[in-house]
Amino acid sequence: MSQDESPLRHRGGDRSSPYPVSRLAPAFAAPDLAAEVVRAEAMLSARTGAKLRVIADQIKALQSEARKVLQEAREEQALTQAECAFQRRPGQIYHLYRRANGSRYFSLLAPADWQGEPPHPWIGSYRLEPDHSWTPAARLGQPDDTGELVRQLLEIGGFGGLAVLPKPDDRGRSDPTGPAD
What are the extents of the domains in the chain? Answer: 31-80, 93-138, 143-176
Would you tell me how many other CB atoms lie within 10 Å of the CB of residue 154? 16
0.75 surpassed by pTM = no
pLDDT tier at 12, thresholds 50, 70, 90:
confident
- Mean pLDDT for 115-124 is 90
Residue 97 β-bridge partners: 105, 122
Using one digit for the tens of pLDDT, what is the confidence trace for 17-65? 776 666 676 666 667 778 888 899 999 999 999 999 999 999 999 999 9
- Mean pLDDT for 108-126 is 91
- Mean pLDDT for 112-140 is 90
Interatomic CA distance for residues 95 and 111, integer angstroms:
8
pLDDT score of 176: 45
Residues 6 or more apart whose CB falls under 8 angstroms from that of 142 comprise 172
SS3 59: helix
pLDDT beyond 70 at 175: no
pLDDT beyond 50 at 181: no
pLDDT beyond 70 at 177: no
Percentage of the chain with pLDDT > 90?
Answer: 49
- Nearest Cα neighbor of 137 from 148, 145, 129, 149 is 129
Contact 152, 145 (CB under 8 A): no
- Please list the alpha-helical segments (H only) found in 7-145: 30-80
